[in-house]
A and B are shown apart, each in its own frame.
Chain A
Amino acid sequence: MANYSLKVNGKVYNITSDDDTPLLWVLRDEINLVGTKYGCGIGQCGTCTVHVNGVATRSCLLPASRLEGSEITTIEGLETDKLHPVQEAWKELDVPQCGYCQAGQIMTASSFLKQNPNPNKEEIRNAMNANLCRCASYNRIEKAVALAAKKMS
């Protein structure tokens, strides 16, 4: 067992968990932040994407006990009082179908746009390619990333 503190969405939590418990399950089961989803547990789908120190990271393989001192942001903390431009774009284009993958998509997109504020179509497709959407809302995700980029510029 490990005791550690975890900074999530600006708030510090004291956690006791197994050393190997992935961040995903600490978020969902211990801190009750269930916006981050489980899809595969092996880093292949992206539904569990959060930001660790601002960078999109898959939380299903990453032991939380190693993240002391890191800034973790989840979909719940991406923006507080208002919507983040990526969320706005998602809403404007009515992207979700079932919605399950969308938190991961939004976290990937928001981190990507920070690194590349002015992406072309190819770059958007590459950046988002590893986030699966079983409902295949891909056309709208692609458009929403482009729209968010415009909103942020």
Chain B
Amino acid sequence: MKTNDKITFSRRNFIRTSALASGGLLIGFNFFNSCKEATVPPVDISKLDFKDFNAFIKIAENGYVTIFSPNPEIGQGVKTSMPMIIAEELDVPWDHVSVEQGALDTKNFQRQVAGGSQSIRFGWDALRQTGATAKQMLVNAAAAKWGVDASTCTASNGIIKNSNGEKLGYGDVVNEAAQLEVPENVTLKSPKDYKIIGKGAINVDIDKIITGKPLFGSDYVAEGMLIASVSRPPAFGQKLISFDETEAKSINGVKRIVQFGDKVAVLATNTWAAMKGKKALNVNWSSSNDLESSSQHNEELDAILNSKNLDLRREDGNIDKAFAEADQILERTYQSPFLPHNCMEPMNFYANVSEDKVHLVGPIQTPAGTARRVADLINRNPEEVHLEMTRMGGGFGRRLYGDFVLEAAEISNITKKPVKVVYSREDDMGAGIYRPAIKYRIKASIKSGEVTGYHLKEAAINSNMYGLIPNFFPAGAIANYKVETGNFQSKITTGAWRAPYTNFLAFAEQSFFDEIADAINKDPVQLRLDLLKNVKDGEDKSIEYSAKRMTDTIKLAAKKGNWGKTNGNTYQGFAAYYSHNTHVAEVVDITLNNGRPIIEKVTVAVDCGIVINPTGAKNQIEGGVIDGIGHAMYGDFSFKNGKPQDLNFGSYRLISMKDTPIVETHFVENDLSPTGLGEPGLPPAGGALANAIKAATGQILLKQPFIKSIKNRKTDLSV
């Protein structure tokens, strides 16, 4: 079992300290032991170049603490929760702490992906060590000042005390602390003594957000900057043949029009002119008649499911024997469409390619890799590329891809002007990197009331479930088990979308379990608990989840959600899933209004290890669950001759408030290392909803979005 493993990292020289010219102590650290022996941190905060450290703690003479975090916010709350961990071990009152966004040095930043929910898992040990080391340094300084042994002193709430009852504030000893050696072997707090972790803190950027301060990439402005609106091939696979720029050029504010590859950029002094200019371009694209359509994908995916040449991803026991000896065999095929990410803030990025450097600013989750790709693209030394991250108006996987950064860099490289590329919603939805359309076929054998065999096949566009997913539940719980995958190579670009693969796989499997439960006449929750009894944690090291943690999570959800105890018009559905190292179980309550399902409530149980910030954690789970329900219900995206059939919210339906259930979240209490929260709430939601609809109406939903197949739907639901 991997879940409880400590993430190991070396503490060797990951912290350096320095006195500040203005008074105070500066502690530079690197989450990921990337700093070298000879590193000397900058002495002046204004000169921080983040060369060797990617994060800093400044403790001022008044005892106030500023944490400069390189990790930008994507909406998952890490900009708040990571500093909370430092402040806890440093032992300062949370209201004495402020958090600033540090610039990012891409060259030395070791972790390639920033801002995602996994960062808390990777940072947990290093952040605690950093806080505890800083505290010990202050204690040592105070002890030296008093001439007593440091072991007789204690520190709490920003105050150091000795056994004579004397006190010093952290601020009183910062200048002395800056001269001392960095202590080794510090002791970490016991979780029972936590004062900040687990107590719920408000997002550190809250005031800026609610008063409309510039925070996002789209808000970034630079002297002389032009706005670029880019015309891209409307259909995937289409090529640019020619274009006429006469009309676009006549628009007020349009300054330049440049072609790069199969794209044309209109550069203007303001956004409206750039967008209008793009619309006015007369572009002649190659024919799209023979390009891909969703109907073709459908056939290709079926062919994969029927083929004998799939890639084997996991095999336990003898599946053929299990099927040959079965009393009963169940088989279902599940289907989901492509999905765009639709971050509320459309893609955008600023680039200024000049003689001496390449300056990039905007919302991106993969700064280091993207900076390297830019250097390659425009033939520059990677050392010259400086990338600054901004807050991101949503990510959901989309901002892992730097396609829009490359566009900005290329346009700026051609024009030698500072340029901000901005996507319209149509650009964003139409030039996406989509969740791939996927089909699953699942087959189970049943003998004497037990599930004896389980065979899952995945057919997906472009690529398949990543490495460890075949080891998720029910791997290990069913003796004869097999997972196979295959894909169809498409011109349509696909990639990670919130909880990649599991976002739909969980629906397929969790709906299927409900049917198995019906077939063997067992309560669906009991079926899962019984299957988990077959798994001994730790016995098979490849198994990714913990049977114990999953069992506890399922029981908590069933209890808090009053599983099986509803009456009247309320129907329930259940699902449980492990992903991103977190175990989640959900009970969905629905009612029927003239046969139309009204999703009333979702009760969620989560085991994500220790909960750093319950306020933020619940926000993540609420968002993930509603996102999962929204896309399972309404998310529909298809292609015709290479062209996306929806480009804006007029026809593409996102869930809105009236369709939203109340989400009630409960955490399994433990002291284990914290795990991801941004994704794992989503995967079980669609399955739990489908199971609730089945309980209410008997209808078995095999395709997303449900809205297209829900019977008796009223006109107001048929979009």
Q: Is A99 part of the binding interface, using a Cβ–Cβ cutoff of 8 Å?
A: yes
**B395: chain A residues within 8 A (beta carbon):** 98
Given contacts A100-B394, A134-B344, contact A94 B202 (CB under 8 A): yes
Q: Mark A123-134, 1 if CB is under 8 A from B, else 0.
A: 001101111111
**A129: chain B residues within 8 A (beta carbon):** 656-658
Specify the chain B residue showing the minimal Cβ separation from A96.
Answer: B209
B623/A136 in contact, CB under 8 A: yes
Specify the chain A residue showing the minimal Cβ separation from B207.
Answer: A91
**B275: chain A residues within 8 A (beta carbon):** 41
B272/A18 in contact, CB under 8 A: yes
Q: Is B331 part of the binding interface, using a Cβ–Cβ cutoff of 8 Å?
A: no
Quote the shortest CB–CB distance from B209 to chain A (angstroms). 4
Q: Is B488 part of the binding interface, using a Cβ–Cβ cutoff of 8 Å?
A: no
Quote the shortest CB–CB distance from A11 to chain B (angstroms). 15
Q: Mark B271-293, 1 if CB is under 8 A from A, else 0.
A: 11101100000000000000000
B648/A42 in contact, CB under 8 A: yes
**B211: chain A residues within 8 A (beta carbon):** 35, 75-76, 78, 83, 87
Specify the chain B residue showing the minimal Cβ separation from A98.
Answer: B75
Give bound CA distance, A25 to B620, whole Å: 32
Quote the shortest CB–CB distance from B460 to chain A (angstroms). 24
B648/A44 in contact, CB under 8 A: yes
Q: Is A140 part of the binding interface, using a Cβ–Cβ cutoff of 8 Å?
A: yes
**B215: chain A residues within 8 A (beta carbon):** 99
Pick from B216-224, B352-360, B702-710 the stretch touching chain A: B216-224
Q: Is B252 part of the binding interface, using a Cβ–Cβ cutoff of 8 Å?
A: yes
Given contacts A40-B648, A42-B649, contact A100 B252 (CB under 8 A): no
**B205: chain A residues within 8 A (beta carbon):** 99
A139/B272 in contact, CB under 8 A: no
Q: Is B717 part of the binding interface, using a Cβ–Cβ cutoff of 8 Å?
A: no
A135/B648 in contact, CB under 8 A: no
**B271: chain A residues within 8 A (beta carbon):** 25, 28-29, 38
Give bound CA distance, A128 to B660, whole Å: 12
Specify the chain B residue showing the minimal Cβ separation from A97.
Answer: B75
Q: Is B21 part of the binding interface, using a Cβ–Cβ cutoff of 8 Å?
A: no
Quote the shortest CB–CB distance from A29 to chain B (angstroms). 4
Quote the shortest CB–CB distance from A133 to chain B (angstroms). 7
Give bound CA distance, A134 to B73, whole Å: 15
**B396: chain A residues within 8 A (beta carbon):** 134
* Residue in B74, B346, B626, B649 whose beta carbon sits within 8 Å of that of A98 in the complex: B74
Given contacts A34-B212, A87-B211, A134-B344, contact A44 B649 (CB under 8 A): yes
Quote the shortest CB–CB distance from A82 to chain B (angstroms). 11
Specify the chain B residue showing the minimal Cβ separation from A102.
Answer: B209
A96/B203 in contact, CB under 8 A: yes
Q: Is A57 part of the binding interface, using a Cβ–Cβ cutoff of 8 Å?
A: no
Specify the chain A residue showing the minimal Cβ separation from B252.
Answer: A18
In the complex, the number of residue pairs spanning A and B with C-beta atoms less than 8 Å apart equals: 184
Q: Is B655 part of the binding interface, using a Cβ–Cβ cutoff of 8 Å?
A: yes
A138/B626 in contact, CB under 8 A: yes
Quote the shortest CB–CB distance from A42 to chain B (angstroms). 6
Give bound CA distance, A137 to B656, whole Å: 10
Give bound CA distance, A44 to B75, whole Å: 22
Report B320-345 residues with CB < 8 Å from chain A CB: 342-345
**A102: chain B residues within 8 A (beta carbon):** 209-210
* Residue in B251, B253, B620, B654 whose beta carbon sits within 8 Å of that of A97 in the complex: B620
A99/B391 in contact, CB under 8 A: yes
B648/A98 in contact, CB under 8 A: no
A132/B619 in contact, CB under 8 A: no
Specify the chain A residue showing the minimal Cβ separation from B341.
Answer: A134
Q: Is B213 part of the binding interface, using a Cβ–Cβ cutoff of 8 Å?
A: yes
A134/B342 in contact, CB under 8 A: yes
Q: Is A103 part of the binding interface, using a Cβ–Cβ cutoff of 8 Å?
A: yes
Give bound CA distance, A128 to B659, whole Å: 12
A142/B657 in contact, CB under 8 A: yes
Given contacts A44-B649, A100-B393, A125-B657, contact A94 B206 (CB under 8 A): yes
Quote the shortest CB–CB distance from A93 to chain B (angstroms). 9
**B216: chain A residues within 8 A (beta carbon):** 37, 100
**A106: chain B residues within 8 A (beta carbon):** 210
Give bound CA distance, A35 to B663, whole Å: 29
Give bound CA distance, A83 to B209, whole Å: 12
Q: Mark B611-633, 1 if CB is under 8 A from A, else 0.
A: 00001100110111111001000
**A5: chain B residues within 8 A (beta carbon):** none
Given contacts A135-B75, A139-B663, contact A125 B658 (CB under 8 A): yes
* Residue in B210, B345, B394 whose beta carbon sits within 8 Å of that of A83 in the complex: B210
**A146: chain B residues within 8 A (beta carbon):** none
Give bound CA distance, A136 to B216, whole Å: 19
Given contacts A25-B272, A40-B649, contact A98 B344 (CB under 8 A): yes
**A128: chain B residues within 8 A (beta carbon):** 657
Give bound CA distance, A38 to B654, whole Å: 17
Given contacts A22-B272, A38-B346, A100-B344, contact A91 B212 (CB under 8 A): no
B344/A41 in contact, CB under 8 A: no
A97/B391 in contact, CB under 8 A: no
Report B234-281 residues with CB < 8 Å from chain A CB: 251-253, 270-273, 275-276
Report A77-128 residues with CB < 8 Å from chain B CB: 78, 83, 87, 90-91, 94, 96-103, 106, 125-126, 128
Given contacts A99-B391, A132-B344, contact A139 B252 (CB under 8 A): no
Give bound CA distance, A63 to B541, whole Å: 63
**B656: chain A residues within 8 A (beta carbon):** 129-132, 138
Give bound CA distance, A98 to B115, whole Å: 11
A101/B206 in contact, CB under 8 A: no
**B276: chain A residues within 8 A (beta carbon):** 18
A91/B210 in contact, CB under 8 A: yes
Besides A96-B203, A134-B394, 12 new A-B residue pairs in contact (Cβ under 8 A), listed by A number: A25-B271, A39-B344, A39-B649, A90-B210, A96-B206, A96-B209, A102-B209, A102-B210, A136-B627, A137-B623, A138-B655, A139-B663
A-B contact pairs, 13 of them (CB 8 A): A21-B272, A25-B270, A39-B425, A42-B648, A44-B649, A76-B211, A94-B202, A94-B619, A100-B343, A100-B344, A130-B656, A139-B663, A142-B660
